[in-house]
Structure 1
Amino acid sequence: MRGKLGRAVILAVLLYAARRYYRNWGTTKEECRMKLPGDELIKPPSTRTTEGITVEAPAEEVWQLVQLRVDPAMTVEQTIDNRALVLCAEPPRFPWTSVISYHVLPRLDDQCRLLARTRIALRRPGQIVLAELAGPASALRTRGMLLAVKHEAEAATRQVTPR
């Protein structure tokens, strides 16, 4: 019995550590704390994740690519040119109300940060469990989208300005 309990505790600790990592994958503490457009659309109780990546391309180039990645199952709630795209999904298309926003933060003339913030309104304990179980898969999907935008923007920039 103690062996099973020990394994369960180890598994819980590992899952908690993984959760802490994927919840804020690639972001700074400052980026996680930032108030961003779309944050006001979902009030607690909710879950929130912020993922980010540095892109070696102008913010305008990245913004154009972000706009092409709109999920047709979501509605556009807000657009701030060259800065933010806020999408919303609600039941019955989604199991819960979700807001996903993409933010392009210019750093230099040829560099920016791309952030993806997800907020999910959770109203019942079962939803909390489902959201936590889906968390790693959602994080991988979001990371894939961020990397796709990064690679495409950087490739387009290299074609325009050979090094």
Structure 2
Amino acid sequence: MGWLRGMATGVAVVGAFVGAFALVRRASLRWGASDDELRMALPGDDLLPAPDLVATRAISIAAPPADVWPWIAQLGQNRGGFSTYDWLENLVGVDIRTADRIVPDLRVQGVGDTVNLAPEVALEVVALETERHLVLRGAVAVDGTGAGAPYDFTWAFVLLRRFDGSTRLVVRERYAYLTGWAAALVEPVEMVSFLMTERMLRGIRDRAERTARPAARDRSTGSPSAG
């Protein structure tokens, strides 16, 4: 009967792995976001009203939206990078250099502009309100280009001003599958996206807090101004 015990142990191990993966997966799809932020309707949601996968992530930034927005507006491979792991992205030839200063010429200007993920893959700006939100739309196909992707995708960056003048940056990804096998591509990629998004949010926070105007930073932290 030893084989029965071995089988039972194997089933238990697999079950534990699946359960742990499910918990990690759930946490990754809502990293940093409150229950209210998960339920909140955000700009761009209406573009994909029935998504197959949604990830909402957020971070608090001790700076007002006016000082966070410039870092959002220059995101992109063709702009100021993504504040993630440049060395890792460049290993696969993405050629990203994250800027550590605000460069006005790199900012998106309006709907129709492009934000590149890679030299041959661009998302389109489909909604923009300065200091409030930026919504991108597009996808990446199996061959690494933007042509013929099996899913549709929106990526929203939303700045919520808090009562103390600081900012909640909420980022939402929405995926709508266009083929029966789209999940096989999206699900693994989305786990990688979580790791990059978590780093990006921290990077934006650190840069915005470092470059925020002193008076604005003092208001958002509740500290008296040195001046």
Fold match (TM-score > 0.5): yes
CA distance in 2, matches of 1:45, 1:76: 19
Tell me whether 131-140 or 24-33 shows the greater mean CA deviation: 131-140
In structure 1, the residue matched to 2:214 is 160
Return 5+ residue gaps in structure 1 as ranges: none
CA distance in 2, matches of 1:91, 1:50: 20
State whether residues 45 and 123 of structure 1, in contact with CA within 8 Å, keep that contact through their aligned partners in structure 2. no
Listed one character per residue, the Cα deviations across residues 66-125 of structure 1 (whole Å, up to 9, x for unaligned) are: 111144121101101211100001365155211001000001454110010000111334
Greater Rg, structure 1 or structure 2?
A: 2
What SS does the aligned partner of 1:54 have? strand
1:45–1:84 distance in 2 versus 1, CA, 3 Å: closer
State whether residues 55 and 174 of structure 2, in contact with CA within 8 Å, keep that contact through their aligned partners in structure 1. yes
The alpha carbon displacement at 1:130 in A equals 2.9
In structure 2, the residue matched to 1:75 is 124
In structure 2, the residue matched to 1:41 is 47
Partner letter of residue 123 of structure 1?
A: L
Higher helix share: 1
The alpha carbon displacement at 1:45 in A equals 4.3
Higher strand share: 1
In structure 1, the residue matched to 2:158 is 103
- TM (normalized to structure 1)? 0.90
Identity of matched residues, %: 27
CA distance in 1, matches of 2:187, 2:15: 17
C-alpha RMSD over aligned residues: 1.9
Return 5+ residue gaps in structure 2 as ranges: 1-6, 77-114, 117-121, 216-224
- How many residues align structurally? 162
